[in-house]
Amino acid sequence: MRSSRLFSPITLGGIELSNRIAVAPMCQYSADDGSATDWHLMHLGQFAVSGVGLVMVEATGVSPEGRISPGCLGLWSDANQDALARVVGFCKDYGNTTMGIQLAHAGRKASTDLPWYGGAPIPASDPRGWQTVAPSAAPYSDAFDTPTALDEAGMAKIVDDFVAAARRAEEIGFDVVEVHMAHGYLLHQFLSPLSNKRNDAYGGALEGRMRFPLEVFAAVRAAWPRNKALGVRISATDWVEGSSWTVEEASRFTAALYEAGADFIDVSSGGSSPAQQIEAGPGYQTGFAATIRRDVGIPTMAVGQITEPKQAEAILRSGQADIVALGRGMLFNPRWAWHAAEALDAEATFAPQYMRSSRALRGEPVPGNPPVKARKD
C-alpha cells in the first residue's frame, strides 16, 4: 500500500508541517477596530484541533487604512496584538497544527463595507471610511474613490508597517508569515500594469513594477526569523486580456522572491480588475502552481476549488504543488482532514478529547464507562 502524499510532512524554512493540508486565509469581517473577537477564537480554534498541517489567519491589515473593511483584522496596535495572542494561544494550547498569518494592505480596494451589507466602497467622507492609497491615482472601478498615489514617504511608511506587523506576529507566536501580494490588493497593484501607471522607477516594465513588492519582502525577510517560514501569496494572472501580468511574469517575480529568501509561494489568481474573465472550475488555479513550481523550483501551495481528498492527493503526487490549501471546503467541513485520512487510508491527528471519532476507536467504550451488556428480554 502506498503511503499518502497528502499526509506526509513537509519543511518550509525552519518549520516542519505535519502534513500538506492548509486552511487558506479567509476574511471573516468580524474584528473590532482590527482586534480579534470570540468569533475568531471559534473560527480558528475549530481548525486547530482538526488535524491540518497549517492554519493561515486571514488577511490582516498592517495599518488601519490597509484593511479591506472596518471589520477586518489588523496588527498595528498593542490591543490588536493582545487580542490575537489570546486566539493563537488557545489554538496552540489545544490544537495540533502550525499557525500562520497573512499580512496585507488593501490599497485602492480598501474602505469597503462588509460583504453581508453589500460590500460597496465606503467613501472617505463617511465616518466609517478612509482615504485609500495606490501606486497610481486610478480607482478600482467608477464606484470607488480615487486613491492617493503613493510618494516615497508613503511607500517607506508601508514598508515600516509590514515590518512592525511581522515583529508583532513573532511576539504572538506565529511560525509562518505570508505576505499578501495577490487579489488586486496593494502589492499586486504595483505588479499589474492595470493598476500601476507610474513613470518612475516603480512602474513601467516588470523590473520596475516588481521593485516595491520586493522591497517590502526584503524588509520583512530581514525582520522575520530564519528558523520560521516566510512566504508570499500571488495572483498568477489578472485574467484580463491585454494585461501582461500572466503566469510568465508571475514566474519571473517568484524567481526573484525565491532568490530573496522566500520559503514558499501560494498561487492564487485574479482580483486586479472588474473586467476579469475567470475560467473557474475544480482545481482551476492548480496549473498556475504547477508552472511556477516547474520553472522556479520553490515549494508551492495550490488553492482554488480543491475539495476532494483524491483530487488533493493527485495534485501532490503529480508534482503540481507541494501543499494544498482549502477555503470554502473547510468552512463546509472543518473536519475535512479527518475524512480525507479515511478516504486515503492514512492517519490524521486528533485532539485527545475527540479520539473516539477516530476510525480506529469507533465502537470502543467511552473511557471510564464500562460497556453495557445487551439486555435479554
What sign for the dihedral angle of Cα 255, 261, 266, 272?
A: negative
140 noted as active-site residue: no
Cβ atoms of residues 231 and 262 within 8 Å: yes
**Using N-to-C axis directions, what is the helix angle for 286-296 and 247-259, rounded to 10°?**
50
What Å distances lie between residue 206 and 53, 103, 152, 192, 194, CA to CA?
35, 23, 19, 9, 12
Backbone angles phi, psi at 234, to 5 degrees: -125, 160
CA atoms within 13 A on the CB side of 154: 16
Cβ atoms of residues 178 and 25 within 8 Å: yes
Distance from C-alpha of 20 to C-alpha of 325, rounded to nearest angstrom: 8
Distance from C-alpha of 341 to C-alpha of 6, rounded to nearest angstrom: 9
SS3 of 181-221: the string is ECCCCHHHHHHCCCCCCCCCCCCCCHHHHHHHHHHHHHHHH
How long is the chain? Answer: 377
Catalytic residue among 185, 202, 284, 354: 185
What Å distances lie between residue 95 and 1, 23, 101, CA to CA?
30, 14, 16
DSSP-assigned letters across all residues of 315-369: HHHTTS-SEEEESHHHHH-TTHHHHHHHHTT------GGGGGGSGGGTTSPPTTS
68 phi-psi bin (left φ>0, alpha ψ -120 to 50, beta other): alpha
Residue 59: all three cell numbers together: 488577511
Catalytic machinery residues: 185
